[in-house]
Amino acid sequence: MLIFNTQSELPAMITIYHNTRCKKSREGLEILENSGKEFQIREYLKEPLSEKELSGLLEKLSMTPIQLIRTKESIWKEKFQDKDLSDNELITVMAKYPKLIERPIIENKNAAVVGRPPVNIENFLKKFSE
């Protein structure tokens, strides 16, 4: 396992976008640790993704921004639930409020997957790992 603190340090390998307080994210991390594959951890609450990074991640996930947003979070309900936001505005919201991003997300240079349920990560590792 490798831990990098800045995006510029990241080589082309598996990355987990991780929230240490989330049970599913910890389960995803355990799957990666047990896989024997090299990976890096990005604690996205401490190092939020830029709008450009989010756009690229959404493309790899083949998801729309609203599909990646945790709409049950209080921040969403209080500030955004009743607004009609464009995809670009939703990406801006996720960049500003990273807690709203679904987790964990596993990414390599070619693809990405949301690790809910955790078996998604196992399938991803089998199919897409380098």
Residues 6+ apart with CB under 8 A from 7: 42, 47, 53
Catalytic residue among 22, 63, 75, 85: 22
Burial class for 46, CB neighbours closer than 10 Å (0-12, 13-18, 19+): exposed
Nearest Cα to Cα of residue 56 among 22, 97, 100, 15: 15
Active site residue 38: no
What region does 36 belong to: left with phi over 0, alpha with psi -120 to 50, or beta? left
- According to DSSP, residue 84 is labeled -
- First CA to last CA distance, the chain: 15
Q: Show which residues are catalytic.
A: 22
